[in-house]
Amino acid sequence: MKIIDNINDLKNEVKSLIGPIGLVPTMGALHDGHKSLIDRAVKENDNVIVSIFVNPIQFGANEDLDKYPRTLEQDVKLCQNAGVKIVFAPKVDEMYGTDKNNLTLICPPYSAVDKLCGKSRVGHFDGVCSVVAKLFNLSKAQKAYFGQKDAQQLFIIQKMVKDLDFDIEIVPCPIVREADNLALSSRNRYLNEEERKLALNISKSLFEAKKMYEMGIKETNKIIDNSLNLMQGLEVEYIEFVDKNTFEFQQNLNDNTIMLIAAKTPISNTRLIDNINLCTNF
């Protein structure tokens, strides 16, 4: 496995690769959720590139850019053990130069970002799309792997690929959960014992909502009330329902409905997101 930190070396190495290339874009602090993406990529491609880059242009003011966990040494070991061919771990100036306020950005459609995470994190998805497009271009990958926990991000990246005719397949991968159903996230390491217990109520409310839907309860207000009761102690940012194919808000729930939650913990102010398909876990 090669560890590369500059663009020219990555380009040269990519030219020498034989066979299909799979890309797993990450911000590091890798956990079993990331490993599930990497394992699938290794299974489906002759060559796998994992990018490890904490992308500053997707963080807003007062977000956790400075404290975001950086564990490159452990991440590299995980990648090596998993059979990754290249770890691309550039510095910020390598990716964006020194004038980061004068970048060409890819801005996804307003209808896709003016809701959910995009509403509270203005400009976040511009940064996501821009760095992902750059990684697509540099890696020359035929497939890229993304987790379904970040459902809005996944939808937006799929739309970007379709709208801009990227020659790459986006492979959605299932949410990976701990034994108690907490969705794996690099930010979980911020949580103290009390907050982690509270955080479990996010996934609990989602699985309860799925049970309610399967019992024939399709009124969003009833499901939301139940979720709010379960998540007392957390600062709930949103509980929403969207169509998985269009990401339009839904009042009338059906088998295409995704329920999404974002909430913050009371002490560390850690923002956690999770979702579930009310019909099947897709």
Q: Which residues are catalytic?
A: 34
Please answer whether residues 1 and 85 qualify as being in contact, where contact means their C-beta atoms are separated by less than 8 angstroms. Answer: yes
Distance CA 104, CA 10 (A): 21
Length of the chain: 282
Classified as helix, coil or strand, 257 is strand
Query: Closest Cα partner for 263 from 194, 205, 181, 178?
Result: 205
CA angle, 35 then 70 then 238, to 5° = 75
Q: Which of 143, 277, 203 is nearest to 135 (CA)?
A: 143
CA dihedral 99, 102, 107, 110 (to 10 degrees): 120
Instruction: Give the full edge-to-edge strand order of the sheet including 143-147.
Output: 2-4, 86-88, 47-52, 21-26, 143-147, 169-173
Separation of alpha carbons 120 and 105, rounded Å: 19
Residue 258: other Cβ atoms inside 10 A: 23
- Distance between CA atoms of 242 and 248, rounded to whole angstroms? 5
Q: What is the C-alpha separation between 23 and 37, in angstroms, rounded?
A: 9
CA distances from 12 to 9, 15, 87 (A): 5, 5, 14
